[in-house]
């Protein structure tokens, strides 16, 4: 099975990057690809619960289509977000950089970053 690994480092409303990433991930999943999204830096703000607009809807759609979404727990903490403020289904990870590199190098056939 093909695997798509996506990295979001930009905040949700800084352009179209986060919106497109979430939409692309859901479309890839529906095509049968395994998909993982990694939220690092300001990208963790995409994981915030109850967001309005396309980012919130697309994160929920991604999770509903079994896209794995990981957020850096250190970056969430640095931005004042607790686990209760993160969308249900998003996995908070302490050592996300190592996890991302391993996933890209060992398992992914495609990688996209915004």
User: What CATH number did the domain enclosing 52 receive?
Assistant: 3.40.1260.10
Domain count, the chain: 1
Q: Alpha-carbon distance 93 to 24, whole Å?
A: 23
Determine the pLDDT at residue 58.
79
Express each pLDDT in 16-63 by its tens digit. 666 677 668 877 888 899 999 999 999 999 899 988 777 777 788 888
Q: In what order do the strands lie in the sheet with 91-93?
A: 91-93, 68-72, 34-39, 3-8, 110-113
Domain containing 27 equals 3-113
10 band by pLDDT with thresholds 50, 70 and 90: confident
Q: Alpha-carbon distance 38 to 93, whole Å?
A: 10
Determine the pLDDT at residue 55.
77
């Amino acid at each position: 099975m093909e695997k798509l690994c996506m990295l979001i480092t930009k905040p949700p409303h800084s352009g179209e990057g986060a919106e497109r990433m979430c939409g692309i991930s859901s479309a890839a999943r529906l095509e049968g690809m395994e998909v993982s999204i990694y939220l690092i830096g300001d990208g963790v703000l995409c994981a915030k619960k109850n967001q309005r607009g396309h980012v919130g809807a697309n994160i929920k759609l991604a999770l509903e289509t079994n896209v794995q979404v990981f957020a850096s727990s250190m970056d969430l903490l640095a931005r004042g977000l607790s686990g209760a403020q993160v969308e249900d289904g998003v996995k908070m990870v302490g050592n996300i950089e190592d996890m991302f590199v391993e996933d890209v190098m060992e398992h992914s056939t495609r990688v996209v970053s915004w």
